[in-house]
Amino acid sequence: MESLRRNTQLILALDVTDVKNAIRVSKDTAEYVDAVKIGYPLVLGTGLGIINDICKFAPVIADFKVADIPNTDHLICSQAFEAGASAVIVHGFTGRDSVLECVRTAKKYEGDIFVVTEMSHPGAVEFMQPKALELASIAVECKASGVVAPATRPERVRQIRGVVENLTIISPGVGAQGGSAADAIRAGADHVIVGRSIYGSKTPGIEAEKIVKEIEKCR
């Protein structure tokens, strides 16, 4: 793990689409988060330069769910790291060569790669769930820093933890999707990822603090 601190164990999913809100929420929650995850909603809404703006508050994980041929994966990851991201989230279903290329690219920037295993939404049981443990072992074989595993299914986080051993598990699905931060952490997640419950609140800092306190209680 090159970049992700393990302090509050909370990662903010910053899925707002304008600079003003992105800065407001980041500033308000900065003391409670280990990282901010930025994906297509914010980057398409504002431009790639937003990564550098948000880096001032916390390390940025670029959630681009990279899923292409190795050369294109390399180009996408390079752009994200050049823009200031500390980590990039990639898919594993494209195969080992693609994931390896992402990990190779991340090394050049001393950055991290997280591989998606099973997603947190109901539809993930159709195609991803049957392959999730294999996707987790691809992450291990390719020496990724960690995996993304579903807080909506803590029992799956536990099973994925059994495969990835000491890799970092980051876990979305807390709050708006029905998952609990404490359950995900108890099941073996290192960090929970929370979006709408925090940025959709009038007081994002207070919401973030509540989640951090919930996590502290189960340590």
Smallest gap from Cβ 119 to ligand 3DU, in A, equals 3
Indicate whether 204 belongs to the interface with ligand 3DU (CB under 6 A).
no
Interacting residue with ligand 3DU among 103, 172, 207, 211 (CB under 6 A): 172
- Only one of the segments 45-53, 67-75, 104-112, 174-182 lies at the binding site for ligand 3DU (rule: CB under 6 A); that segment is 174-182
Indicate whether 73 belongs to the interface with ligand 3DU (CB under 6 A).
no
Q: How far apart are CA 219 and CA 23, in angstroms?
A: 30
Q: How far apart are CA 55 and CA 45, in angstroms?
A: 17
Q: Are 183 and 192 in contact (CB under 8 A)?
A: no
Q: How far apart are CA 199 and CA 208, in angstroms?
A: 9
Interacting residue with ligand 3DU among 72, 137, 177, 201 (CB under 6 A): 177
Q: Are 138 and 115 in contact (CB under 8 A)?
A: yes
Interacting residue with ligand 3DU among 59, 111, 150, 204 (CB under 6 A): 150
Which residue in the list 27, 37, 65, 202 is annotated as catalytic?
65
Indicate whether 50 belongs to the interface with ligand 3DU (CB under 6 A).
no
Interacting residue with ligand 3DU among 8, 9, 15, 190 (CB under 6 A): 15
CB environment 1-22: b (16+ within 10 A), e (fewer): eebbeeebbbbbbbbbeebebb
Q: How far apart are CA 219 and CA 214, in angstroms?
A: 9
Q: How many residues does the chain have?
A: 219
Specify whether 65 is catalytic: yes
Interacting residue with ligand 3DU among 59, 111, 146, 173 (CB under 6 A): 173
Q: Which two tokens stand for residue 116?
A: 């998606």
- Only one of the segments 18-26, 92-100, 137-145, 189-197 lies at the binding site for ligand 3DU (rule: CB under 6 A); that segment is 189-197
Quickly count helices (H) and strands (E) in the chain.
11, 8
> Which of 110, 155 has the CB closer to ligand 3DU?
155
Smallest gap from Cβ 89 to ligand 3DU, in A, equals 7
Q: Are 144 and 164 in contact (CB under 8 A)?
A: no
Which residues of this protein are in contact with ligand 3DU, per CB under 6 A? 13, 15, 39, 63, 119-120, 148, 150, 172-173, 175-177, 193-196
Q: Which residues are catalytic?
A: 65
